[in-house]
Amino acid sequence: MQTIPDIVLGPLLGVESDTKYSVCLLANDCIHDPILSVSGHLENICIEQRLEILDKYIFYRYSFNIDPDILEKTNQFIYSINYTSNHLPSNLFEKFWLVKTPDQNDRPSIAFVSCNGYHNSYPSYIPKNSFLGWKKINEVRPDYLILTGDQIYADSIIEKIPKLIFTEADLIKNALKIEEFYVKLYIDSWSNKHMRKALATIPNIMTWDDHDIIDGYGSYNDQKQKDLIPLFNIARKYYQLFQLRSACHNKSLSETEDGVFNQYIKLRGFHCFLPDTRSNRTQKQILSSQQYQWLENHALNPPAEITPKQDDEGEKLLMVLPVPIAHLDFYSFIDDVFEPVEKKSIKKLVDLVDDNIDHWDHKYHKEEQKRMMNLLFNLGEAFRIKHLIIVSGDVHSAGASSIVKMTMEKKEERFATQLITSPIVNKPTFRLMKFTGKRNKFITDEIGYSLNNFGNLRNWLITKRNFMIVRWGSNGYHSTIYMEGKKDHWITIKDAKFHRTLNLFKESQMERIYLKFLKWIKDLFN
């Protein structure tokens, strides 16, 4: 007789402040309500939310605060989930979960990942070795984990519900099938043992991007966006449950308007902003005016306890944007070649078009790019923070650069470090692309910003599966990148002045051949 696992998703360990945590899980409806026990608590933790899903699952949320005195003494806590099923065996891979916390006086380490899946490929078809990055994360054990978008890839809905024609009426008609698809997608996508362990033992935060809904959502024409609203509403429902750990209870969420999930959280010395860049996105807009007002309000009302400190001791401002705020320009030809193509259906979309429109560098978003950069530096000034960090994913390669704010005299004034981590599971960008991208210098008439130092001229991006860890050590700022397939595995980006990044890696012999070939082609046609 085939057995059905009791807990089908989770446990998922969320963090909402220095001391507040949540645990969520999805179980079959045939088990008794699980009991959560946490070390340091004399009593079991009560169920904060119990929600029936699709008449066969139950979603549970628990939340608790850890006494800072306990954390200061032990720098860890243990939680367990206890339950009895009527007749089914437990499938929990652990009985107890040990959670490491940073010392009260230490700078925490934060890991960043992106692109946890494959385009148009159901999770069961993903090669097992694609998850080795998650295994490495468990070995390293960072203090916190931030997932920057594309935690699932819903593009496979085309294959799983093949008769779907993606009109508004058709999506409403097939709402139940679509709900079942998203729930199963989360279960399958997060079932790898290495990823399960990471999400259960490393306190984490998530924000979404297009693939968590469907490829390119937000960058289609107005009619197609209108048609996709029923699909978006269902994707949002399960994003709220599984990624935000129940939006109605998550204390890190900041309300701006209905259906938008901006997040602000203070993690020791890091002030982390995660604006929702998908819910209000259109072809001509990334964030709404209310969202910019939310950021501006933080700039006008910074935390009172912030005091200026030395560069190596001060607090840090960290902005998480799923798509890089500035990037190398690979796609300048797309507008002229592909954009005129009429998008008749989801199946016939030209992927490069919506990818191009997604970028802050696109002509539709130039003013927003400028506005966001101004806001970032205004936040830094208001918080009296010199260490401005932007972390992104999406582009299937890792990279590091400095974004320089210029004075009217075109002199360097202030700096932000942009880090890109992507992908953790998906296939990396074609290696040759990193040599073909043009440097994107974005300068406005009034205020200018310059994108500098993607490695050096020959080493702009890392085209390997990767994840990134940011930490502050005794001698300054480090961002460390794990790269799949490298003997040394770790490459450190460090700079005592906090605004420059060093080269990411040394080019291989094959890469030198690529460069010579490209130069030969260029000379041939010039």
Domain ranges of the chain: 107-525
What SS3 class is residue 71?
helix
Query: How many Cβ atoms sit within 10 Å of the Cβ of residue 227?
Result: 20
What is the structure's pLDDT at 199? 97
What is the structure's pLDDT at 307? 59
Amino acid at 52: E
Distance CA 315, CA 308 (A): 8
What is the structure's pLDDT at 457? 40
What is the structure's pLDDT at 210? 92
What is the structure's pLDDT at 481? 82
pTM value is 0.87
Distance CA 99, CA 272 (A): 21
Distance CA 253, CA 292 (A): 15
What is the structure's pLDDT at 402? 78
In terms of C-beta density within 10 A (0-12 exposed, 13-18 middle, 19 or more buried), how is residue 338 classed? middle
Question: Which segments of 35-162 does DSSP mark as H helices, in order?
Answer: 68-74, 132-140, 157-160
Cβ pair 63, 22 in contact under 8 A? yes
- Longest Cα–Cα distance in the chain: 76
Distance CA 429, CA 207 (A): 22
What is the structure's pLDDT at 347? 43
**Length of the chain (residues):** 526
What is the structure's pLDDT at 202? 97
Q: 204-206 and 76-82 as β-strands: parallel, antiparallel, unpaired? A: unpaired
Low-confidence ranges of the chain (pLDDT < 50): 1-3, 86-89, 311, 336, 342-350, 445, 455-458, 488-489, 496-507
Question: Per residue in 280-331, pLDDT tens?
Answer: 999 999 999 999 999 999 988 887 766 555 545 567 899 999 999 988 665 5
Tell me which DSSP letter residue 130 carries.
Answer: G
CATH number for the domain running over 107-525 = 3.60.21.10
